[in-house]
Amino acid sequence: MAAELMDGKLLAQEMKEELKAQVEELKSKGITPGLGVILVGDNPASKSYVTSKEKACERIGIFSDDTRLPDTITEEELLSHVDRMNRDDKIHGILVQLPLPKHIDEDKIINAISPDKDVDGFHPVSVGRMVLGQETFLPCTPHGCLKLLERYDVETEGAEVVVIGRSNIVGKPVANLLMRKDKPGNSTVTVCHTRTKKEDLLTHTKKADIIIVASGFPNTLTADMVKDGVVVIDVGINRVEDASRERGYRLIGDADFDSLKEKCSKITPVPGGVGPMTITMLLFNTVQSARNRLSK
């Protein structure tokens, strides 16, 4: 049985149409949603993600305030840019593209973003609200995973979910969201990570109904590790050299798509799965932040 593809590109497109209409409505009320974007250094992947985010903003009518800084910038200088954006009423969301250069303390920068403008959902206040089930900006990649599960009618209530990876931006939040008393949610969640024993990982993955792989390593999940009919969400993005491609590489996820697609009931492709949803959920949060302004 071949798996159904959970098409993130298509869902992202559908959601962007809705968001575009919401932006038009906000504009008719005198509010143009604005996203402050900060990119430090010239990491090629970060540059390409930021460019995609800005293009996506433009397409749906969000204004973006683009600040590109050299990787020689000091922590204080970077903090002053965040502070400027915190005080700018035209900016409803602030995005500091990660990773930051090693000499800059990422936590310090994230903590400086006003929680009201934290459209990445990384600030400790946003994380706390998310864990407590309070209204807040949800982190974009985990939120995108939930939207995919919802759109493709995957039942999460009572499901055995295994999350592979415990990062602050994917593993921990997606595990938390799926255990919340909510829909999607109400799952029994197990988090596996680099220190999980191989035999334990297998025990967990073999009984999972849904597996979210965010390990950062290709082939972390293979067909022999899962039961028939499992749903797999692959958050990984790994570059593999490929001279036949124009850019010299191709992208693969953390799951072995080719073997898993014969055993899963549903699976996300890479590219075209979770990645496009990450950008769309950023737009979603930025529009939400601008709408919040209406009620103030």
Ligand X SMILES: Nc1nc2c(c(=O)[nH]1)N[C@@H](CN(C=O)c1ccc(C(=O)N[C@@H](CCC(=O)O)C(=O)O)cc1)CN2
Residue 75, classified by CB atoms within 10 Å of its CB into exposed (0-12), middle (13-18) or buried (19+), is: middle
DSSP 8-state class, residue 34: E
CB atoms within 10 A of CB 80: 13
Residue 63 bridge partners (DSSP):
34
Q: Distance between CA atoms of 8 and 281, rounded to whole angstroms?
A: 11
**At closest approach, how far in Å is the CB of 93 from ligand X?**
11
Chain-centroid distance, C-alpha 88:
25
Residue 20, classified by CB atoms within 10 Å of its CB into exposed (0-12), middle (13-18) or buried (19+), is: middle
Is cis: bond before 124, omega within 30 of 0?
no
**Is position 115 an interface residue for ligand X (rule: CB under 6 A)?**
no
Q: Distance between CA atoms of 15 and 51, rounded to whole angstroms?
A: 19
Extract the annotated binding site for NADP(+). Answer: 165-167, 237
**Is position 271 an interface residue for ligand X (rule: CB under 6 A)?**
yes
In the complex with ligand X, the residue whose CB is nearer, 120 or 256, is 120
**Is position 216 an interface residue for ligand X (rule: CB under 6 A)?**
no
Total residues contacting ligand X by CB under 6 A comes to 19
Q: Give the nearest residue (CB) to ligand X.
A: 275
**Is position 276 an interface residue for ligand X (rule: CB under 6 A)?**
yes
Considering only residues 119 to 178 of the shown chain, the ones binding ligand X according to CB under 6 A are 120, 140-141
**Is position 95 an interface residue for ligand X (rule: CB under 6 A)?**
yes
In the complex with ligand X, the residue whose CB is nearer, 104 or 140, is 140
**At closest approach, how far in Å is the CB of 256 from ligand X?**
16
Residue from 2, 32, 42, 48 that binds ligand X (CB under 6 A)?
48
* Parallel/antiparallel/unpaired status of strands 160-164 and 63-69: unpaired
Active site residues: 53, 97, 120
**Is position 237 an interface residue for ligand X (rule: CB under 6 A)?**
yes
Q: In which residue are the tokens 């009201």 written?
A: 116
Of the ranges 54-62, 74-82, 95-103, 147-155, which one interacts with ligand X (CB under 6 A)?
Answer: 95-103
Binding region for ligand X (CB under 6 A): 48-49, 52, 95-98, 120, 140-141, 237, 251, 270-272, 275-276, 278-279
